[in-house]
Amino acid sequence: MNDSFNTVTGEWDGQGEFLPPDDPRLLVHYASYGVNYGNSIFEGAKAYLGRDGKARLFRINENAARFARSARGIRMPPVPEEMFVEKAIELVQLNKKYIPEFEADPNKRGSLYIRPILCGEAGLGVAPSFKPKFLMFCSPVGPYYATGFKPLHAMSVHHMVRAMPGGHGAYKTGANYVMSMLATSYAKENGCQEAIWLDGNRHEFIEELSACNFMARFGNTLVTPAVSDTILSGITRKSILKIASEQMGLEVQERALPLEEVLNGADETFGCGTAAVITPIGKISAYFGRYTREITPDVGELSQKLYDGLTGIQWGENADPYGWITFVD
């Protein structure tokens, strides 16, 4: 799907057509602001096919709201939230046959990944793109934990910064992910699978991972870094905090979370985001690999319960008391 911003009316025209993937109208110009100066934002959402054969979108209005926030954050015209939701529904309707079949085993379930993009059109000057394109495509994705739900080894990054206060860390813009690629490569070169970002001022507080938020359980309390202008406000994060406090009786805290506190006393740690839902973190290495703490050898009990609880709502196995699901016929 591609839609154009009308510079005469100052509005999105809403006439974007759904096109086959090889349609030349979907090509991005080599002089695009998005390609050259990073004037681009994106979203990530999923549609799930339940046991009843119905397709479900999860909290799609939250993606619409974050897409609009990200657009404003890098001075691009936001797409009206209703239009975003309508286009996502239409995209799923047109591609329902590509949503992987329901599987009884949660570790075998795939979904339809939806990727909305706002990308600046061609131009030369370093300026906000006044005429961006709104694109949306989808692709079936297989099960994230095809080889089993296992904890990974993460490494805190002390010499790189993902986002600084006053920057664009809270917006889902491509630039943030370029930084993440550097950090993830560093973690991998040091025998870990994922990087944990720390605050850019003191390298003392945990912020998030490359593509998911961070949580730690201390006894019956679940702590996650408070969202700020350096952290992406995750939809999975928000959903987990609600399920943990309302359905599992945990105390939840959104606050500054020192790395030292986690290394000294966390009982369980995990990442959370749309792609994997829960990424259990069994081990954390810090201070350039000079210190490693094993947190849990196996997937923690809470990580498993939250994974089952949230994926249960997404695939329609559990009730949806919060109205998070939009059915697509």
- 233 backbone dihedrals φ, ψ, rounded to 5°: -80, 100
200 binds ligand PLP (CB under 6 A): no
Please select the residue that binds ligand PLP; options are 44, 167, 174, 258, rule is CB under 6 A.
44
* Positions in 93-152 near ligand PLP (CB under 6 A): none
Is residue 173 involved in binding ligand PLP (CB under 6 A)? no
Identify which of residues 198 and 232 has a Cβ nearer to ligand PLP in the complex: 232
Distance CA 145, CA 123 (A): 42
Residue bearing tokens 């809470």? 302
Stretch binding ligand PLP (CB under 6 A), from 4-12, 132-140, 231-239, 283-291: 231-239
Q: Among 212, 241, 284, 299, which residue interacts with ligand PLP (rule: CB under 6 A)?
A: 212
CA distances, 123 to each of 106, 127, 290 (Å): 47, 9, 48
CB 255 within 8 A of CB 262: no
Q: Is 168 an interacting residue with respect to ligand PLP (CB under 6 A)? A: no
Q: Smallest gap, in angstroms, from Cβ of residue 281 to ligand PLP?
A: 14
Minimum Å distance from CB 7 to ligand PLP? 30
**Listed ranges 74-82, 112-120, 151-159, 232-240: which one lies at the site for ligand PLP (CB under 6 A):** 232-240
Nearer to ligand PLP, 274 or 311 (CB): 274
Rounded to whole angstroms, what are the CA distances from 185 to 71, 154, 157, 179, 207?
A: 29, 12, 11, 10, 18
Backbone angles phi, psi at 124, to 5 degrees: -115, -40
Q: Is 316 left (phi over 0), alpha (psi -120 to 50) or beta?
A: left
| Residue from 16, 77, 78, 273 in contact with ligand PLP (CB under 6 A) | 273
Residue 270 contacts residue 215 (beta carbons within 8 Å): yes
Q: Which residues bind ligand PLP (CB under 6 A)?
A: 44, 208, 211-213, 232, 234-237, 273-274
